[in-house]
Structure 1
Amino acid sequence: MPGHSAPLSTRRRRVVVAGAWVALALLGAGSFVGGAAFASAQPEAAVAPTVSAVPTPAPTATGPVIERRPQPTAAAAPTIVRTCSVDALASAGGLGTFQGTIREASTGSILFDRAGDQFSRTASVMKVLTSAAALAVLGPDHRVTTTVVRGATPGEVVLVGGGDVTLASGSSNIYNDSASMSDLANQVKAAWAADSSTAGSAITAITLDASLFSGETWQSSWNRIEQTEGSTAEVTALMVDGDRANPSADTSPRGDDPVARAGAAFRSALGSLASGARLAEGSAAAGAGALGSVQSAPVSTMVQEAVLRSDNTEAEMLARLTAIALGAGSSFSALQAAIPAALHDAYGLDPTGLVIVDGSGLSDDDAVSARYITLLMDKVNAREGSLGVLLDGLPVADQTGTLSYRFTGANSVVDGKVMAKTGSIDSGNMLAGVVHAADGSVLTFAFFALGSQLGSGREALDALTVGVYECGNALSNG
């Protein structure tokens, strides 16, 4: 309040502050006097010349060094725990003698293997190898040509087979986009009438040239029941309807002379122009003038038909044409050189140990390992080269082709998730393809049930495949 002195604590603070200022002033004066006295005491010689001085950096304060704990450059990938087993399913009695391999498709890592390095008969799984080789050598756009040329004698024409077993005797047959004998005959009739030297005259002889294929027309290890019951035909370069008695039926009895049947179909299509023409086998003369030609559907279409429907005759055609294109020959024996070489050169697959005696897999003498097939299936799944054509043609579980009636009931969990080639012969059942598993992983597999029965073998293979689907990438080899 006015008229009162400041409190004691306040006066003490003022005294302390004033004392501090006095001390600072005395220190400053002492420093100045001391500095002057020091300078006056130095000899004159020690006085440095006047130069522009480089300032010395002030010392940096230091403290204790803190060591950082080492840090990982990247987070460690989670470890896959493989504890899911299909061993019991792979040991089922219905499988007979089992051989099989399962791979993780993107890495090629083997997740499961039982005698997968053994080379065994394949049944129709062989068509996967044949188709892959044909796509690599012939190409997906290649078409097979059937031609008619003038013969060496008056009134003669030569029907030259190019290997097209899908050629229709009439306007159509079971094969997609097949060429027709009717179209070929119409071309010949038009050309015959347009030539003044033949117009108005009849065709008196039809020579049938099937010389493109050589050697035996029936593989000696095949069972003739396949012909009489209708699953395959003699292998010839000139044929109609796959030599089926019923062109629109998948399975239909085949004859013992496909070339003669093709000749008869051509003569019939020519109508009155050649109603009395003589049929005989022979060869076209080099440089003979063309009277007409037709082309098959592309190889891409025929490959998909061969694997979807498991068409043995179509597969044999593709195998033989592949061998011819490679210069390996035109007989059954040429396939041993051609198919392994094509798969090695196109896809880098080691041919060691492969035994290829046919293109369809009907023979017990074929020998391929499950590991080899899964390596090829990895490439099919990746659509390497033109193999996407093959992938898209594989039968789909409970939906298409030879799998349309399998994986039913409790096994229907894999509907649309398994794409695979089936195989069944008297000595076993096989299945190989791609599984899109429940956990999102993609696995390739090849299973051989050697010595199994048709019904029980297929059921056991289906159950094993469902187990693989459920395990996915957690599949254990134990």
Structure 2
Amino acid sequence: MRPTRWRRSTHAIIGVAVLAVVAALVAAAAWLTSSARDAKTARTSPEPHTVAAPPAVVPVPPAPPRRPKRAVRDAGAAGGRPESGRLGGRITDAMTAKELWHQLDDVPLLPASTNKVLTAAAALLTLDREATVTTRVVAGKEAGVVVLVGGGDPTLSAVPPGGQSWYHDAARISDLAGQVRRSGVKPTAVKVDTSAFTGPKTAPGWDPADIDGGDVAPIEPVMLDGGRVQPATPDSTRSHTRLWMPGARWLPHSASTLRR
């Protein structure tokens, strides 16, 4: 090899060696810096610890009052009503497993609507069993005007005193009229307030033909006899609109108009 080529080769080897050393130093510095940062973070980050809740006595909600006698009484009363159909069932005390009431419990019967059973059960679990729905009559803003304020009672009846409604012991619109008369008010007009309910009057999937067939009625805060055209007939055609109109004649005789 000639000296000139040897020197050039030597210079190239030395250059590569220097680059390799520099790269190694950079990599080492980066590793050391990362290790130092991780160590610092580990020293400054607090150790996680479990927070133990102090011991305490958690109050247990009081058990609902047990009223087995009332359940038996209500079941017996319902079984004696024509509108209840053929009633069968059994009532058992859940705490003692003692049978409290039974009637036709071993006879196969066509069950009631599942939706109605679930709705009734939810209402019994949620609502106050002593609560009632009130229909009120209040003075209107104009002189001589009274307002019938609906509270959502579908059993309110337009049947005159002594007549038979499909709903057992239902409140009568004639009773309200009598209370207005006894108060000394002489109304010249009656308005109906149906603002208690909002939204659709029928549920999705309801067939309008079922209203004519007597199965359902549009839901309004003021309903008379469940919207039945014939109050004492279970399968009576229901009204599509203004379910309170049949009761107009039982309002005070001095009321000349009934308007919404």
CA distance in 1, matches of 2:216, 2:175: 26
Contact 1:234 1:258 in 2 (8 A): no
Bigger Rg over Cα:
1
State the shift of 1:205 in Å. 2.0
Count of residue pairs the alignment pairs up: 148
Structure 1 residue 220: Cα displacement: 3.2
Cα distance, 1:190 vs structure 2: 1.0
Q: CA deviation at 1:257?
A: 1.3
Q: State the match for 1:268 in structure 2.
A: 249
Tell me which amino acid in the other structure corresponds to 1:234: P
Q: 1:184 aligns with which of 159, 176, 189?
A: 176
1:190-205 alignment to 2 at 5 Å? Answer: 190-191=182-183, 193=184, 198=185, 202-205=186-189
Q: Deviations over 1:17-63 (max 9, x none)?
A: xxxxxxxxxxxxxxxxxxxxxxxxxxxxxxxxxxxxxxxxxxxxxxx
Deviations 1:167-214 (A, max 9, x none): 1102341011100111111001111x2xxxx5xxx4222111111111
Superposition pairs of residues 33-432 of structure 1, within 5 angstroms = 124-170=113-159, 171=161, 172-191=164-183, 193=184, 198=185, 202-259=186-243, 262-265=244-247, 267-274=248-255, 276-277=256-257, 279-281=258-260
In the aligned structure 1, how far is the partner of 2:253 from the partner of 2:220?
28
1:211-265: CA deviation from partner (whole Å, max 9, x where unpaired): 1111111123111111011111001110100010111111110111134xx2451
Aligned letter for 1:154?
A
With a CA cutoff of 8 Å and minimum separation of 6, indicate the structure with the bigger relative contact order: 1
Shift of 1:160: 0.6
Once residues 140 and 272 of structure 1 are traced to their aligned partners in structure 2, the CA distance between those partners, rounded to angstroms, is: 36
Q: Secondary structure at the match of 2:218?
A: coil
| Residue identity (%) | 38
Bigger strand share: 1
CA–CA separation in structure 2 for the residues paired with 1:209 and 1:240: 14
Distance in structure 2 (CA, Å) of the matches to 1:250 and 1:130: 20
* TM-score after normalising by structure 1: 0.30
Distance 1:272 1:208 in 2: 16
- Is this contact kept in 2: 1:244–1:252, CA < 8 A? yes
Q: What TM-score does the superposition give when structure 2 sets the normalisation length?
A: 0.53
Contact between 2:157 and 2:170, CA under 8 Å: does it hold in 1? yes
CA distance in 2, matches of 1:156, 1:233: 29
Is the 8 Å Cα contact of residues 163 and 238 (structure 1) preserved in structure 2? Answer: yes
Partner of 1:443 in structure 2? Answer: none
Q: Is the 8 A contact 1:174 1:249 kept in 2?
A: yes
Q: Which runs of 5+ in 2 are unaligned?
A: 1-93, 95-111
Q: Which amino acid aligns with 1:145?
A: T
How far apart are the structure 1 equivalents of 2:230 and 2:251?
21
* C-alpha distance in structure 2 between counterparts of 1:159 and 1:272, whole Å: 15
After the TM superposition, which parts of structure 1 deviate over 4 Å for at least 4 consecutive aligned residues? none
Q: Secondary structure at the match of 1:273?
A: coil
Partner of 1:230, secondary structure, is coil
AA of the residue aligned to 1:273: S
5+ residue gaps in structure 1? 1-105, 107-122, 282-478
The offset of 1:124, in angstroms, is 2.2
Summarize the Cα distance change of 1:159–1:268 in structure 2 as closer, same or farther, 3 Å threshold.
same
- Give per-residue Cα distances to partners, 1:379-434, cap 9 Å, x unaligned: xxxxxxxxxxxxxxxxxxxxxxxxxxxxxxxxxxxxxxxxxxxxxxxxxxxxxxxx
How far apart are residue 271 of structure 1 and its match? Answer: 4.4
